[in-house]
Every structure is written in C-alpha cells, then in structure tokens.
Chain A
Amino acid sequence: MNTISDPFAGAPDAALLVAFANGDGDAARLLTARLLPRVLAQATRMLANAAEAEDVAQEAMIRLWKIAPDWQQGQAQVSTWLYRVVANLCTDRLRKRRGGVSLDQVAEPQDDAPSVAEKMQTNARMQALSDALAQLPERQAQAVALRHLEGLANPEIAQIMDISVRSVESLTARGKRALADIMAGRKAELGYEDD
C-alpha cells in the first residue's frame, strides 16, 4: 500500500463506495479493512457464535457491494446503512433460534482445546445474552443491542431503525427490563455473585 500518496486517505466511506462501483480495486480493499471489523464485531456481540457472525458479516458486505452503483451520496451514511443490515440479519438468525435453544444450554468448551477460565466465562455470558435477546420481540432486541452492545446514541439508533427517538427510548427500556428478568435466574451460573 502506497502510504505516501494515498488518494483515499481520509475519504468518507460513501466516496470509497462510489469509487468501488466505478471499478477501483483499492477502494474495495480499503472499504473491507474499514468496515468488515465493525460488521463482524456487531454480529458477534449479538449472536455469540463465530461461524454465524462470519456468515452475517460476509452477507452484509455482499449487500454493500451490490448497492454500490445505486448509492446516493449525501442521503445516508454507509455506517448507518450497515448497522441496519447487520441488525436485521442478526434478528433473522435469532428468530430461528427461538423454537430450539433452551436457556440451559451453555457453550461447551472443546475437550482438547486449552481453555482459559475467564474466556470460557465470557463466552458463556455472551451466549446467554444472545439467547436472551432471541426471546425478545425483534425490534426490542435490535434497539437494546444497538444501544448497549454497540454503544450508539438514541438519535443514531432512530435513524438506523427508521423510528422516532421516543420509540427508541421505549424499546430499549422495555427490552432491558425483559432481558434482566430472563437473565435473573442465571446469575450464579454465569458468575455474577452478590458481593
């Protein structure tokens, strides 16, 4: 990568997307470097499953490549659009879980893999949260995840979900209460002891 005269240094995502649509291979590489980690992280936090998160991340990027020729600069941010796509793909996956996975199921470590106690616990907690999210109405799950797992502010969430800020507040409040109730019975199991 030529760091001296990088024409894309500091260019907004939308500009890169337009360049990609016009056949620029460097734009694709740079967009991937910028966006794939964020997309993968969002999916991992919601799904707590590496394979599923990778599938969602790859699918989200495919949709981005497809929409590139039609991207209207100035109408929306690429990040906003991607948050929405990933959130929808994740709740699709969570919906499929609802019938099957019992809340007692905890991710089992592989027998032959060296396991660090802390890492195991984080994985188990993530899995438990993901399963609990799967129990919520989809819009609540999305709002809670965007607010508390992605750390986004309510106005941005409102844009992503195409609803009012007030609706975001209502969804996150209700979703968080519901999650707390679902998780309450698993405190000891997940290592949350009363001090």
Chain B
Amino acid sequence: MKMTDPNNDMLDDLFAEVRSVAPEPSEDLIARVLADAVAPLPKPVVPPPSLFTRALDLIGGWPAAGGLVAATMTGLWVGVAPPAAVEDLTASLLGDQVSVGFFTDDFGFDIGTTVDG
C-alpha cells in the first residue's frame, strides 16, 4: 500500500540524478595521489645474533641466565653448608649407615658399599 508522496518522489528523482554524477579525476589530482604513494621504508635489517646470544636466548636471555647462576650457586651452597632442616633430612635418609632396599638380595649387590658416604 504505497501512498503517493510527492516529497518522496522528488527525493527519489534527486537521488537518481546525483547517482549519475561521476566526475573524472583531473590529471593534477592523479599526480598528487601518486606522489603520495610512497611505499613505507623496509624494516631495518638487524645483524644476526652471535652463537652465544642465541644460546642465551634459548634459555630465556640474561634474566634467566642470572636465575640459573643463582640457582646453581644456591645448590652449591646447600651442598656445602646445608641448612639445619636439610641436614636433618639427609641424616635421616642417609645417616652413617643406610640400608635402602633398592634391590632384592637376588641381585647380589652389597648395599652397604654402594651408598656408603
């Protein structure tokens, strides 16, 4: 059900007329647009990292290396001068005499000698 709407008809005519407008770009405009078409510079080439840097990168770079060193030093420290709790634990596990049944007697190992010291 379409009511005749002269205003709408006028607008439709106007739209059609404007739709048909298709200006040709001037040579000047084309030249300006092409002058603007400068491709961005390629990304700068970074020299490839040395073998050492690459190995370091594998474990996470200097921060991780620092952590590794710290952990290693801590491990050494714990071994050389263990905190009391560790000492007790070690003593309870190993002590002076240890008998840990890793293997049955059938294997013929002398447990005493393998875990001594």
A interface residues (Cβ-Cβ under 8 A, vs B): 20-23, 28-29, 31-32, 36-37, 40-41, 44-45, 50, 53-54, 57-58, 61-62, 65-66, 68-69, 122, 125-126, 129, 148-151, 176, 179-181, 183-184, 187, 190, 192, 194
The smallest beta-carbon distance between A87 and chain B, in angstroms, is 15
Q: How far is the CA of A148 from the CA of B39 in the complex (A)?
A: 35
- Confirm or deny: B96 has a beta carbon within 8 angstroms of a beta carbon on chain A: no
Residue pair B37, A45 in contact (C-beta under 8 Å): no
Give 5 nearest A-B pairs by CB, closest first: A28-B37, A180-B7, A148-B15, A192-B10, A61-B33
Write out the residue numbers on chain B whose beta carbons fall within 8 Å of the beta carbon of A183.
Answer: 7, 10-11, 14
- Confirm or deny: B83 has a beta carbon within 8 angstroms of a beta carbon on chain A: no
Please, could you name 30 A-B residue pairs with CB atoms under 8 Å apart, sorted by A?
A: A21-B39, A23-B42, A28-B37, A28-B39, A36-B25, A40-B23, A40-B29, A41-B21, A44-B21, A54-B26, A54-B29, A57-B33, A58-B32, A61-B36, A65-B39, A68-B39, A69-B40, A122-B17, A126-B17, A129-B14, A148-B15, A149-B15, A149-B19, A179-B11, A180-B8, A180-B11, A183-B11, A184-B10, A190-B14, A192-B10
Write out the residue numbers on chain A whose beta carbons fall within 8 Å of the beta carbon of B7.
Answer: 180-181, 183-184, 187
Q: How far is the CA of A20 from the CA of B38 in the complex (A)?
A: 9
Q: Taking chain B's interface residues, is the majority helix, strand, or loop, or is none over half, making it mixed?
A: helix
Q: How far is the CA of A166 from the CA of B42 in the complex (A)?
A: 44
Residue pair A192, B13 in contact (C-beta under 8 Å): yes
- The proximity string for B residues 1-13 relative to A, scoring 1 for CB distances below 8 Å and 0 otherwise, is 0000111101101
Within residues 19 to 72 of chain B, which ones have a CB less than 8 A from any CB in chain A?
19, 21-26, 29-30, 32-34, 36-40, 42
Interface size band for B: 20 to 34
Closest partner residue, chain B, to A29 (CB atom): B34
- Confirm or deny: B89 has a beta carbon within 8 angstroms of a beta carbon on chain A: no
- Confirm or deny: B18 has a beta carbon within 8 angstroms of a beta carbon on chain A: yes
The smallest beta-carbon distance between A17 and chain B, in angstroms, is 11
Residue pair B39, A23 in contact (C-beta under 8 Å): yes
Of listed A22, A40, A68, A126, residue having the most chain B CB within 10 A = A40
Q: How far is the CA of A28 from the CA of B35 in the complex (A)?
A: 10
Residue pair B30, A45 in contact (C-beta under 8 Å): no
A40-B25 contact in complex given A58-B36, A65-B37, A183-B7, C-beta closer than 8 Å = yes
Write out the residue numbers on chain A whose beta carbons fall within 8 Å of the beta carbon of B36.
Answer: 58, 61-62, 65
Write out the residue numbers on chain B whose beta carbons fall within 8 Å of the beta carbon of A22.
Answer: 39
Write out the residue numbers on chain B whose beta carbons fall within 8 Å of the beta carbon of A44.
Answer: 21, 23
Write out the residue numbers on chain A whose beta carbons fall within 8 Å of the beta carbon of B26.
Answer: 54
Residue pair A187, B10 in contact (C-beta under 8 Å): yes
Q: How far is the CA of A31 from the CA of B37 in the complex (A)?
A: 10
